[in-house]
């Protein structure tokens, strides 16, 4: 068993040491602030920034051999590798249901699809995890929230029943140690995702003394966004690790699970749904007027990565994984900025209670990106400090960074990943 950080080249490893030994890199140093102020359509592509960008992207991808079970794999035809346009439905319904029972290992079968992604293995139960989120969101929408009922679904699960009869649970993943995402390393404790969600469910920790409306944001976004994005990242990392080991059948199964957890049977209840909402907020929807351009990028990259794994093209699968995570950064940059603006609007109206709710909502979205930005060391420190000053619940709403400062703090990260102003859009 081995682990790697996605960067095997010794020269890149040395570059990382050099970068991490440097002082914090601000947008003015990189020449990025004035790029946006001058309304150019793309960031300037400095070689240095691009080198950091490679490190940033790969910091998500901690691939390792894993103990996830493999699955029977089907060959994807020529239609499977086609890119998907804005005409893809954003309704979240599956285009065809997966079978209830997996074929025997090695048998080529039809494993169904969700919203244009054709599964190459059996993930018929995995794709139902998002149905738990649908039920949780319904409970959180009640006038009086039954946090106990929400916790029961989170901890015990409901819809995703494994072949052995046990239930796959969101809380089980969130609390697990050794998963292939950055959160636990960054926050310094195993099960950091669960710690955040549980504190919101129980009204403890950072949510102690907060209103139900504030706690709701921690629960909802902690589950639908923080946990499900981390779960998606974990599966992509597992896929890359297995592909590197030559276990392509297991690799494509993990890759399929990535889409099952990002979109699954009910895309509107997963991170995919958040992406479409933020695309609407920022004017970055596709031609159908419903699907975020970022979600189109993610779907196309997932299809490309699936096909690359089946072909044994590890470099192509890695490139696809980085494309997914670049688009995820777009979605959650939009979310991070939006709620800083909402807090300011609430304060201007004298509604401090609502400002607190939006502060918690912004915090919960921001924590999707924070661990990966933290993984690049001092290069991301300024961004983290600025945005945390706005969203840390130990601070009063509006006492930290302004919405303009939050946006500016993200410029270096966008530069690293070559995310343009057009990619981000403007708040409508």
87-121 pLDDT tens trace: 333 333 333 333 333 333 332 247 999 999 999 99
Q: What 3-state DSSP class applies to 268? A: helix
Is residue 216 in some structural domain? yes
Is residue 300 in some structural domain? yes
Output the average pLDDT for the chain.
82
Is residue 170 in some structural domain? yes
Among candidate residues 131, 109, 121, the one with its CA nearest the CA of residue 269 = 131
- Bridge partners of residue 114, in order along the sequence: 117
Q: What is the pLDDT of residues 191-210, one digit of tens each?
A: 999 999 999 999 999 999 99
- What is the Cα–Cα distance from 182 to 97, expressed in whole angstroms? 32
Domains held by the chain: number: 1
DSSP state of 102: P
Is residue 38 in some structural domain? no
Is residue 366 in some structural domain? yes
Classify the C-alpha dihedral 341-347-349-354 as positive or negative.
positive
In angstroms, what CA-CA distances link 116 with 42, 204, 289, 298? 30, 41, 17, 11
Contacts of 250 (CB under 8 A, 6+ apart): 68, 69, 70, 71, 242
pLDDT for 110 equals: 74
DSSP state of 24: P
Evaluate whether 278 touches 338 at the Cβ level (below 8 Å): yes
Q: What 3-state DSSP class applies to 3? A: strand
Q: What is the pLDDT of residues 237-272, one digit of tens each?
A: 999 999 999 999 999 999 999 999 999 999 999 999
Evaluate whether 399 touches 256 at the Cβ level (below 8 Å): no
pLDDT for 56 equals: 52
Distance of CA 378 to the CA centre of its chain: 22
Low-confidence ranges of the chain (pLDDT < 50): 1-52, 54-55, 58-59, 62-67, 69-109
Is residue 30 in some structural domain? no
Where do the DSSP E strands lie in 80-187?
113-114, 117-118
- The end-to-end CA distance of the chain, in Å, is 49
pLDDT for 55 equals: 47
Is residue 148 in some structural domain? yes
Is residue 55 in some structural domain? no
The domain of 386 spans 78-424
In angstroms, what CA-CA distances link 186 with 213, 235, 287, 364, 373? 27, 19, 38, 16, 9
pLDDT for 65 equals: 40
């Amino acid at each position: 068993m081995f682990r790697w950080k996605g960067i095997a080249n010794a020269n890149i490893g040395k570059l990382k040491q050099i970068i991490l030994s440097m002082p914090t890199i601000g947008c003015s140093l990189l020449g990025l602030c004035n790029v946006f102020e001058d309304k150019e359509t793309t960031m300037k592509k400095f070689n240095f920034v691009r080198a950091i960008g490679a490190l940033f992207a790969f910091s998500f991808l901690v691939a390792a051999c894993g103990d996830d079970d493999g699955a029977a794999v089907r060959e994807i035809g020529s239609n499977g590798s086609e890119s998907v346009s804005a005409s893809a439905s954003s309704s979240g319904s599956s285009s065809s249901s997966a079978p209830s029972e997996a074929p025997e290992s090695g048998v080529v079968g039809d494993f169904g699809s969700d919203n244009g992604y054709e599964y190459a293995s059996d993930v018929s139960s995995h794709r139902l995890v998002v149905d738990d989120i649908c039920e949780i969101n319904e409970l959180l929408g009640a006038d009086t929230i039954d946090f106990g009922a929400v916790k029961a679904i989170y901890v015990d699960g409901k819809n995703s029943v494994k072949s052995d009869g046990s239930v796959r649970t969101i809380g089980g993943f969130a609390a697990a140690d050794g998963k292939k995402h950055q959160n636990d390393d960054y926050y310094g404790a195993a099960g950091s995702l669960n710690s955040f969600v549980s504190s919101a469910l129980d009204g403890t920790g950072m949510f102690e003394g907060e209103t139900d409306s504030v706690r709701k944001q921690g629960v909802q976004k902690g589950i639908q966004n923080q946990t499900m994005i981390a779960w998606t990242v974990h599966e992509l990392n597992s896929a890359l690790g297995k592909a590197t080991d030559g276990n392509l059948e297991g690799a494509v199964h993990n890759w399929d699970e990535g889409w099952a957890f990002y979109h699954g049977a009910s895309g509107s209840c997963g991170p995919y749904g958040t992406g479409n909402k933020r695309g609407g907020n920022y004017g970055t929807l596709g031609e159908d007027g419903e699907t975020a351009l970022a979600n189109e990028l993610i779907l196309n990259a997932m299809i490309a990565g699936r096909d690359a794994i089946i072909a044994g093209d590890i470099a192509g699968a890695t490139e696809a994984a980085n494309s997914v995570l670049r688009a995820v950064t777009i979605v959650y940059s939009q979310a991070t900025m939006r709620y800083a603006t909402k807090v300011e609007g609430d304060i201007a109206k004298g509604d401090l209670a609502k400002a607190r709710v939006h502060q918690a909502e912004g915090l919960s979205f921001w924590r999707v990106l924070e661990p990966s930005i933290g993984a690049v060391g001092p290069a991301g420190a300024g961004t983290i400090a600025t945005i945390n000053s706005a969203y840390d619940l130990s601070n009063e709403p509006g006492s930290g960074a302004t919405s303009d400062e939050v946006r500016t703090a993200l410029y270096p990260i966008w530069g690293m990943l070559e995310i343009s102003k057009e990619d981000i859009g403007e708040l409508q």
